[in-house]
Structure 1
């Protein structure tokens, strides 16, 4: 086994590789430890132990569910991956939405991510898990964050993208506050950067590098990562390349070390246990009545589906409310803010009463006089602001007494409150 074929990222990984090197090459244990440490990017085992020995690791479990339509088999695949920082510090929810992979996951626990889309086979499930893991590895190593800024291209134009661009992504450097472009075309690991791409970088004054790290998109399938940035404005790419060289090797489905489980099987993680314990310790909230259950739907011409209270107010109460509203409409004829809202109230109540009573229970003449035909009211009858407000408050009181607490009633009472606010600001 070549020491360059595996790149461990932990002391335990270095020790495990050292055992294999000692067995395969017949060397001393101390020599094997140094070889394994060099494979991890350190000068020797002492150097590795100094850098990694006391460094806390944060583990994240990533799960993908799968269903094979041909065999009708189903299950889930989970991989445990170590990072220098917890998931919440690696990427924010808004940043995750900018990424092709992280935008398709849900955090079921602080340390457990579940891929939302269902895979069509166990192989695809493992591949999708590794895509999420590699994305987080890249973020953990470089400190870059996913971005959706197309203005990051040369001169802010997508037309100026690198030749033969494939599987492109944009990254934000929060330290230098600049963007870094990436793409992952199908090239071999040992292929040099093409002359066409070098000419593009020189033409735009950009820097382009090809780190030896591998690929986020498909490290098993012949893709390779390129990083690009503006030489004058962007951050230097050398620290990013150096960090990737020393970072953990990108996880890959061909080196799968995860575990399988039944479809929707619970994945036991420390974060999940802590969240469950905290939930059990929380004092249960008093469940409020389901207010929507106090509403009933109806269809209104040219409007569509609406809601009204699941009750009916006595006709006498409708008559009283109608009289109060019509009196305010006449008195506030010159105050559009109040008049418009009162008009909306009576229109809504007029719709309700039509559905609360059948024509046999409520004759046409009585119905038509409930909320309209205010012509018989004397517009010369003086009514002050306070009296108008009192009439509206009485309407709210009547409605509250006869209808259950529900969103439709809130809407009508809200119109009443806005009418009152308009009247209070009226300089009569």
Structure 2
């Protein structure tokens, strides 16, 4: 076997090949190490050492739960629902991808960061099965990034060969960037049947044009349950070395698909709130409290609960009024879930009112059966003429009524003004919704 044909896969193999290269090419051993590492698919010996030594450590079990939510609506039956899956990742989603980068990853393009552990699809699919499939595709994209450290590229980088010809059979391509190496690679995910008889043609094209093509052990992001295959492609001279990426993918758990995904089951009318969403709300409340500083006023009293503290109006709002305000908020939330500027603010308002009412009435005056239905358990199915922007005028009327009821039931004070300000911002978001 020629030295040129050797492709070491261990540090020991790289060192042995480096000695041969150093003697054969009459170069220092450090240069031989870098050249041997390049044969193994790494940028240099330091990169090979870091990657291969890390691979000998038994990876810890993924410990960060991420929730992926997709709403669906059947246009024929008018039925609606929300499918949520949970995926375990080795790090939090905010460390895997920045919010501004979602639009560049095909599997995450229709998703928005909702909380530190929750992403939400801002479009609606036509059924529960398609919603689950879309959520799984997003999960696989996160798996790919978490394992490789790659980020979606904002540039559409063409893969061109001689006479401008593209890679034969290329399909469902995506561009990826390594923020450390400052280099790119590309993912090609054609259906297996489409390239089954074109492998020699693809290999010849890559050799002729100096592109590297490799098929990882991991099945891929696009549609592995439907027969797509993943190929990694890199410019042989300027692209990202494939060795470390292939190694990282070989250690990944199986891709998340509908058959193995972990679904989150919710009861009818129950609003899903992830642990991160609750935690984020608590942190925002604490920051707001610190920013405001201690307040003393004759119209308010301090309060402290397990998950909340602050000041509230020194007055009671009638239980019937609480019921009406709660119903108005729930109706708007259930119909505008895809509009974060509305839902986030209304969720904050009802959370605070939920705290206040517990302190205004004891269980004798406000039985649990009544309390639990005041501000939560909104409806899942919304009439077509109320859903989203179609019901804008009705939603505006509901929020205006809620504001009037709150303002007339409580004295003018900073806590009440804070609620009214959030409702006003929700109204602005509703009015500007295109």
TM-score of the pair, normalised by structure 1: 0.51
Counterpart in the other structure of 1:194: 199
Residue in structure 2 matching 1:153, options 135, 154, 159: 159
Q: Is the 8 A contact 2:86 2:261 kept in 1?
A: no
Distance 1:49 1:275, change over 3 A: farther
TM-superposition CA deviations, 1:338-387 (whole Å, max 9, x none): xxxxxxxxxxxxxxxxxxxxxxxxxxxxxxxxxxxxxxxxxxxxxxxxxx
Question: Is residue 176 of structure 1 aligned with residue 188 of structure 2?
Answer: no
Which structure 2 residue ranges, 5 or more long, are not aligned? Answer: 1-54, 293-434
Q: Is the 8 A contact 1:65 1:264 kept in 2?
A: no
Q: Is the 8 A contact 1:60 1:80 kept in 2?
A: yes
Q: Is the 8 A contact 1:76 1:263 kept in 2?
A: no
What aligned pairs does 1:377-392 form with structure 2 within 5 A after superposition? none
Counterpart in the other structure of 1:69: 75
Q: Is the 8 A contact 1:151 1:158 kept in 2?
A: no
Residue in structure 2 matching 1:227, options 227, 232, 247: 232
In the TM superposition, residue 268 of structure 1 has moved relative to its aligned partner by 3.0
Counterpart in the other structure of 1:99: 105
Alpha-carbon distance in 1 for matches of 2:163, 2:150: 21
SS at match of 2:224: coil
Distance 1:219 1:265, change over 3 A: farther
Counterpart in the other structure of 1:127: 133
Q: Is the 8 A contact 2:160 2:167 kept in 1?
A: no
Residue in structure 2 matching 1:252, options 254, 257, 260: 257
In the TM superposition, residue 158 of structure 1 has moved relative to its aligned partner by 11
Alpha-carbon distance in 2 for matches of 1:97, 1:126: 20
Which structure 1 residue ranges, 5 or more long, are not aligned? Answer: 1-47, 286-428
Q: Is the 8 A contact 2:214 2:231 kept in 1?
A: yes
Aligned-residue Cα RMSD (Å) equals 3.1
Distance 1:220 1:151, change over 3 A: closer
Q: Is the 8 A contact 2:215 2:230 kept in 1?
A: yes
SS at match of 2:109: helix
SS at match of 1:279: helix
Q: Based on CA coordinates, which of the two structures has the bigger radius of gyration?
A: 1
Alpha-carbon distance in 2 for matches of 1:231, 1:172: 15
Question: Is residue 142 of structure 1 aligned with residue 165 of structure 2?
Answer: no
In the TM superposition, residue 241 of structure 1 has moved relative to its aligned partner by 1.2
Q: Is the 8 A contact 1:75 1:262 kept in 2?
A: no
Alpha-carbon distance in 1 for matches of 2:119, 2:229: 26
Residue in structure 1 matching 2:58, options 42, 51, 54: 51
Counterpart in the other structure of 1:203: 208
Alpha-carbon distance in 2 for matches of 1:49, 1:265: 45
Counterpart in the other structure of 2:86: 80
Distance 1:196 1:207, change over 3 A: same
In the TM superposition, residue 267 of structure 1 has moved relative to its aligned partner by 2.2
SS at match of 2:94: helix
Alpha-carbon distance in 2 for matches of 1:167, 1:215: 11
Alpha-carbon distance in 2 for matches of 1:52, 1:246: 9
In the TM superposition, residue 98 of structure 1 has moved relative to its aligned partner by 1.0
In the TM superposition, residue 188 of structure 1 has moved relative to its aligned partner by 5.6
Q: Is the 8 A contact 1:96 1:103 kept in 2?
A: yes
TM-superposition CA deviations, 1:30-49 (whole Å, max 9, x none): xxxxxxxxxxxxxxxxxx99
SS at match of 1:95: helix
Alpha-carbon distance in 2 for matches of 1:197, 1:204: 11
Alpha-carbon distance in 2 for matches of 1:129, 1:263: 20
In the TM superposition, residue 262 of structure 1 has moved relative to its aligned partner by 6.4
In the TM superposition, residue 191 of structure 1 has moved relative to its aligned partner by 5.2
Distance 1:64 1:263, change over 3 A: farther
TM-superposition CA deviations, 1:296-343 (whole Å, max 9, x none): xxxxxxxxxxxxxxxxxxxxxxxxxxxxxxxxxxxxxxxxxxxxxxxx
Distance 1:63 1:87, change over 3 A: same
In the TM superposition, residue 150 of structure 1 has moved relative to its aligned partner by 3.0
Q: Is the 8 A contact 2:216 2:249 kept in 1?
A: yes
Alpha-carbon distance in 2 for matches of 1:131, 1:91: 15
Distance 1:189 1:139, change over 3 A: farther
